[in-house]
Structure formats: structure tokens, C-alpha cells
Amino acid sequence: MTRQEKKFSGSALEGKHHINLTVNGQLYELAIGTGAGKVNPSDTLSFTLRETLGLTGTKVSCDSGACGGCTVIMDGRAVLSCMLLSIECDEKEITTIEGLKNPKTGELDPLQQSFIDHTAFQCGFCTPGMIMSSKALLNDNPSPTEEEVKEALSGNFCRCISHYQIVRAVMAVSGKGK
Amino acid sequence: MRSFTHFDAYSIEDTCTALGQYKGRAQLKAGGSDLLSILKGDFLPDYPEVIINIKTIPGLDYIKEDGDFLRIGALVRLIEMVRSPLLSHKYSVLVKAAHTVASPQIRNVATLGGNLCQDTRCWYYRYPRSMGGPLQCLRKGSGSCLAVKGDNRYHAIMGGKKCFAVCPSDMAVALACLDGRLIIAGPRGERNVAVADFFYPLGNDLAEDEMITEIEIPARRNPAQQNFLKFTLRKPIDFAIVSVASVISIEKGVCTDARIVLGAVAPFPVRVRAAEELLIGKPVSEEIVMSAADEALAGSKPLSKNAYKVQIAKTLVKRAVMGSTD
Ligand SMILES: Cc1cc2nc3c(=O)[nH]c(=O)nc-3n(C[C@H](O)[C@H](O)[C@H](O)COP(=O)(O)OP(=O)(O)OC[C@H]3O[C@@H](n4cnc5c(N)ncnc54)[C@H](O)[C@@H]3O)c2cc1C
Ligand code: SF4
Ligand code: FES
Ligand code: FES
């Protein structure tokens, strides 16, 4: 990690030259700057994931923190990728919807399969965010109650009214281990 | 979002020095859950040249009791407040308030300092550039207040002057109820200000080169009955239409101490002392609590479209004091 030091007569703040992001187990070293493949200081994490790394599974809907569509897991917690600056995600570990399947067999995570089995979506735009919020909950608490599932999903909105199926899909894997 | 230069800060001193040198062209960033909305909306007259990330300053994320005070670092995230056993035990009004803020994902990154310093939510003020804005108004330094003659359903019912936007921070209401003070650092050293005095109709008490480092609360010996109730249209995500924080001590059915603070009714949290005095020394009955609720709202002067907030506030005061959970 290289840091450029800026001196303002007595005050020292540091600007970054590049960041290391681990996404779904893969390390990306990205230069800070403008131009293809680089991270601009004002790039959001959702922009970097989708436009720079090509991981378009993460969806951006409101782009203002109000819908949960862009949820990813960062260092174990569900966060909104549209409300984070990539430049501040240096050394972070991020899991997106693309990272849930078994990397060797390609088999879906039981939670993903449960969404399919319960038809827990219509248009599907909220689904990656719903799954990532649920996954963060299940990692923390493998046997959540229905109340806990609703609480964990309270920042995720579905325009198609699939909430009931979504809660059922998550409850179906609650207590089932990994 | 338009571009800016980005720095990480490693000390309070360096942060304040840099703020001074940039003379208003630099902006602090903690969790970013308010700041990024402002930058994306691009509705303010000045766009910052520099963003200073303060999350990299070490040692500002504690929650601890230290003799006569409870001390909370400005960088404590709301999720840590929700999960704190110390707060749940003796300062549960803070836990209840933190739990109503935004959504789980936002509470995972949002800080207490950022919650207190977030900008107003007035919809005229925030009308985005991409939708034909920005709109000028008194708070932005030109024109008049658009809410007075416009749609003011979410605006102040008391205490407004020039600007009628309400203080959007839920944490400010709970902290004011516990007599919290903000510790503010600047190039001239440290000072402190009561939470309730930090907010003005046109902004807050921070100078260009200052930052909040800590929130200090007189330590409580007994938890008493603490409550935070918030009326919103949707339970998660939404800002308060009205909120009420209360700390009520009851001994043998008689109220021995009462603190009641109203939120989202004014540009600052409103401690309603006259209502508190009505309760103290009396048995807690529905009738007395109702008259305290009337007293709490006695000074309200609703605008054209927000008289409904008066009745909601009265009901919340009554429910909070009676110990209802919603
Ligand atoms: C969808 C949505 C819903 C929300 N709902 C609520 C709600 O219900 N209740 C509520 O209270 N809030 C709500 N918020 C507002 C706000 O995002 C959060 O309250 C949050 O706590 C802000 O903290 P932050 O650390 O992310 O602040 P930031 O965005 O990092 O900072 C906000 C402002 O504070 C300044 N600042 C930050 N830290 C300091 C410091 N230590 N000293 C001086 N200045 C500082 C920054 O310069 C900036 O101007 C909501 C936001 C969103 C997007
Ligand atoms: S309430 Fe305040 S922010 Fe809103 S239009 Fe009036 S002056 Fe501007
Ligand atoms: S796209 Fe990030 S919260 Fe809506
Ligand atoms: S399935 Fe369409 S938004 Fe949820």
C-alpha cells in the first residue's frame, strides 16, 4: 500500500495511490486516478464493482441509500455499495452475489437455491441485495427467527411485493447450517 | 458524483489544521451515508474540493463509563450503540433511538458524529440538480424560505426562524434527554456545548475548522424508565415526523424525575420543562400525563400544512411517559 503524503505547514493528511480490494476471494490492485481500469476518488463501490470489475450482479436502483438493492457483504457486514467510496475500501474483503456459488462445482448456495424454490422474486432486481442481506444475517446467526429475518431485511425494498416469498425462502434455510 | 481530492486523516490536530487551510473548501467524511447523498444531489452552492476521511483517525470509537461520565467517541457506529450491553443496561434511550435510524446496512457504517452533523432534509433544500434543481433558499444564502408558502408538511411547528427545517438527527433527541454535551476540537483547543444548544435554525455551532470528537453524558446511577418513540410513515428508513425521548423515574407510583424531549418539531431538540414539572411529584395517571402532553405542545405554531404534527406529538408524549413501546 503506497501512500502519498501531503504537507500543509504542519498538517499531514495522506492521499492514496492505489487500493487492494479482495472481491469474492480474488485480490484486485487498482490504481487511483482517471482512465480505464482506475478508481477515481469519487467512484462508489457499486460503480467499481459493476463498471471497473464487470461484476454486474450487484444492482443499483436508487443510488442514494434508500432501497438496499446494492447490498454487498464487507468484512462480514451487510453494507450499501452505492454509499461507499471505493478509495476507502482499501484492504477490505467484499462478497457479492457472484461469490456465493461453490467456486469448484458451480453449485448455488442453499440460500440462492431456496429463493428459486420459493419463487422469491418477480422482476428480480432486488434479489441480489435481498440475498446478500440475508446471507450476512445467516453468517452471524445461522438460525434466525422470522422476526430477525424481517429486521435484517428491513432496509431492502421489493417493488414487486415478493416480500412474503422472500421471508419464507430465508426461513427455509434458517437452522439448516451451511 | 463530481470528482474531488481525497485524503485520509490520522489525527484530530491535522484534521483541524487542514480544515482551516482549505477555508470551507474541504469537507469531513465519516460513514458517508449523508455526505454522499449531498455530493450526488449536487444541490449546494459550493462543491467541496477536498474530502477528508476521518474514519482513519485512531481511538475515537469507544463507549465507556469514566467516573461521573459516559463517554462515546464520535466515530462509534450506530450498530455498536445498538449492540452495547452498557448502553442497553443504563442508557437504553440511546439504543432505542439508534435502532430507529435508517436501515441495518446504514447503521453498519453511520457514525454518531455524522448523525449529529448531518445536513437538513428539507425537500426544497435537497432538490437535486439532475431533476432541474438546485433551488435557492434562505438557508443557502439567497432568496426566501420556500417552505413557508410551499409544502411544509414535514417542517417545524415551533422554533423556526428564517428557516423552518427540522433537526433530522434522532440521536440528538435521545442525547439531549440525557443532558449530553458535545466535545468539539479546533485549532484553539477544545470546547464543549450542550447537544440542545448545538443546533440553530440555519445550521449548527461548528466553526469551519472544528470537529466533534466525543459526546459526554452525566453517568446515571439508576436507569429509570427510558423511552424513545418515533412516528414515521414506514417503520424502517424514514426520518421522524415526530419523535419523543423520555427518562422518567417513578417511586411507589409517584413520578420523582422527568425529562422529555421532542424531536422533528423544531430546528433543534426541544426539552419541554413545563410538561416535566407538571409530572414531578404526582402519581402517574393517564389524566396527568395527558395534561403534560398538552403543556408540551402549548407553544407550537404550526405552518399551513403541518398542524397534524401537534396531535401526533401529544400522543407520543403520552405513550412515551406511560412506557408504551410503540
Ligand atoms: C436512506 C437514509 C435514511 C436515513 N434515516 C435516518 C433516520 O431515520 N434518522 C437519522 O437520524 N438519520 C437518518 N439518516 C441520515 C444519516 O445518514 C445518518 O443519520 C448517519 O448517522 C450519518 O452518519 P455518517 O457517519 O454516515 O455521516 P457522514 O455522511 O459521513 O457525515 C455527515 C455530515 O457530518 C459531518 N461530520 C461527520 N462526522 C463529523 C465529526 N466528527 N465532526 C464534525 N463533522 C462531522 C460531515 O462533514 C458531513 O457533513 C438517513 C440516511 C439515509 C441515506
Ligand atoms: S425550510 Fe430552510 S432549507 Fe427549507 S426552503 Fe426554508 S430556508 Fe430553505
Ligand atoms: S442502490 Fe444503493 S441503496 Fe438503493
Ligand atoms: S422482485 Fe422486483 S423488485 Fe423485488
Q: Does residue B310 line the site of ligand 1, with CB under 6 A?
A: no
Q: What is the dihedral sign for C-alpha A111, A112, A113, A115?
A: positive
pLDDT at A75: 98
Contact B104 A151 (CB under 8 A): yes
Grid-cell match 437455491, residue found? A113
Mark which residues 8-37 of A lie under 8 Å from B by CB: 8-16, 34
CB-hemisphere CA count at 13 Å for B276?
17
Residue B227 host element (H or E): strand B225-231
pLDDT at B325: 81
Radius of gyration of chain A (CA): 18
Q: Which of A159, A163, A165 to mutate to test the pocket of ligand 4 (most atoms within 8 A of CB)?
A: A159
Nearest CA in chain A to B40: A64
Percentage with pLDDT > 70 across chain A: 93
CA B156 to centroid of ligand 4, rounded, Å: 36
Local confidence band at A11 (pLDDT 50, 70, 90 cut-offs) = low
Question: Measured in Å, how far apart are chain B's first and last C-alpha atoms?
Answer: 39
Of the partner residues B5, B32, B37, the one whose CB lies closest to the CB of residue A85: B32
Dist CA B170 CA B177 (whole Å): 11
pLDDT at B326: 77
Domain at A3-97: CATH architecture: Roll (3.10)
Contact B14 A78 (CB under 8 A): no
Mean per-residue pLDDT, A148-163: 97
Strands of the sheet with A26-31, listed across from one edge = A26-31, A18-23, A92-95, A71-74, A77-80
Q: Measured between beta carbons, which residues in chain A are less than 8 angstroms from residue B2? A: 42
- Contact call for residues B196 and B205 (beta carbons, < 8 A): no
Grid cell in block for residue A147? 422476526
pLDDT at A4: 46
CA B73 to centroid of ligand 3, rounded, Å: 28
Pairing, β B181-186 against β B211-218: antiparallel
Listed residue (B36, B253, B12, B21) closest to A8, CA to CA: B21
SS (H, E, C) chain A: CCEEEEEECCEEEEEECEEEEEECCEEEEEEECCCCCCECCCCEHHHHHHHHCCCCCCCCCCCCCCCCCCEEEECCEEEEHHHCEHHHCCCEEEECHHHCCCCCCCCCCHHHHHHHHCCCCCCCCCHHHHHHHHHHHHHHCCCCCHHHHHHHCCCCCCCCCCHHHHHHHHHHHCCCCC
Q: Measured between beta carbons, which residues in chain A are less than 8 angstroms from residue B36? A: 44, 65, 82-83, 85
In ligand 2, the atom with minimum distance to the C-alpha of B162 is 7
Longest CA span, chain B: 62
CA B107 to centroid of ligand 3, rounded, Å: 14
Domain ranges of chain B: 63-117+167-218, 225-323
Strands of the sheet with B270-271, listed across from one edge = B225-231, B242-251, B254-263, B270-271
Q: State pTM to two decimals.
A: 0.97
pLDDT at A9: 42
Domain A110-173: homologous superfamily in CATH? [2Fe-2S]-binding domain (1.10.150.120)
Q: Measured between beta carbons, which residues in chain A are less than 8 angstroms from residue B3? A: 34, 40-42
Instruction: List phi, psi (to 5°) of B324.
Output: -70, 150
pLDDT at A177: 67
Ligand lying nearest the CA atom of residue B164? 2
Q: What is the dihedral sign for C-alpha A22, A71, A45, A14?
A: negative
- Tell the residue nearest (CA) to atom 19 of ligand 1: B115
Same fold, B63-117+167-218 and B225-323: no
Dist CA B309 CA A127 (whole Å): 37
Nearest CA in chain B to A155: B103
Residue ranges of alpha helices (H) inside chain B are: 12-22, 35-41, 78-83, 85-90, 92-100, 104-107, 112-117, 146-149, 170-177, 195-198, 273-279, 286-296, 308-322
Q: Measured between beta carbons, which residues in chain B are less than 8 angstroms from residue A9? A: 17, 21
Nearest CA in chain B to A66: B237
User: What are the angstrom distances between the C-alpha of B277 and each of B196, B256, B280, B282?
Assistant: 19, 10, 5, 10
Q: Which of B79, B117, B171, B230 to mutate to test the pocket of ligand 1 (most atoms within 8 A of CB)?
A: B117
pLDDT per residue as tens, chain B (326 positions) = 999 999 999 999 999 999 999 999 999 999 999 999 999 999 999 999 999 999 999 999 999 999 999 999 999 999 999 999 999 999 999 999 999 999 999 999 999 999 999 999 999 999 999 999 999 999 999 999 999 999 999 999 999 999 999 999 999 999 999 999 999 999 999 999 999 999 999 999 999 999 999 999 999 998 999 999 999 999 899 999 999 999 999 999 999 999 999 999 999 999 999 999 999 999 999 999 999 999 999 999 999 999 999 999 999 999 999 998 87
Domain ranges of chain A: 3-97, 110-173
Local confidence band at A14 (pLDDT 50, 70, 90 cut-offs) = confident
CATH class of the domain defined by B63-117+167-218: alpha beta
Q: Does residue B165 line the site of ligand 2, with CB under 6 A?
A: yes
Mark which residues 57-116 of A lie under 8 Å from B by CB: 63-66, 68, 71, 77-80, 82-85, 87-88
Residue ranges of alpha helices (H) inside B101-169 are: 104-107, 112-117, 146-149
Burial string for B80-119 (b: 16+ CB within 10 Å, else e) reads bbbebeebeebbbbbbbbbbbbbbbbbbbbbbbbbbbbbb
Say whether pLDDT at A2 is over 50: no
> Which CATH number applies to B225-323?
3.30.390.50
Say whether pLDDT at A10 is over 50: no
CA B161 to centroid of ligand 3, rounded, Å: 35
Q: Which of A62, A70, A119, A125 to mutate to test the pocket of ligand 4 (most atoms within 8 A of CB)?
A: A125
Q: What is the ipTM of this complex?
A: 0.96
Dist CA A156 CA A141 (whole Å): 19
Dist CA B161 CA B170 (whole Å): 21
CA B35 to centroid of ligand 2, rounded, Å: 18
Say whether pLDDT at A152 is over 90: yes
Grid cell in block for residue B156? 417545524
CA B256 to centroid of ligand 3, rounded, Å: 47
Q: Measured between beta carbons, which residues in chain B are less than 8 angstroms from residue A41? A: 3-6, 51
- Tell the residue nearest (CA) to atom 4 of ligand 4: A158
pLDDT at A7: 46
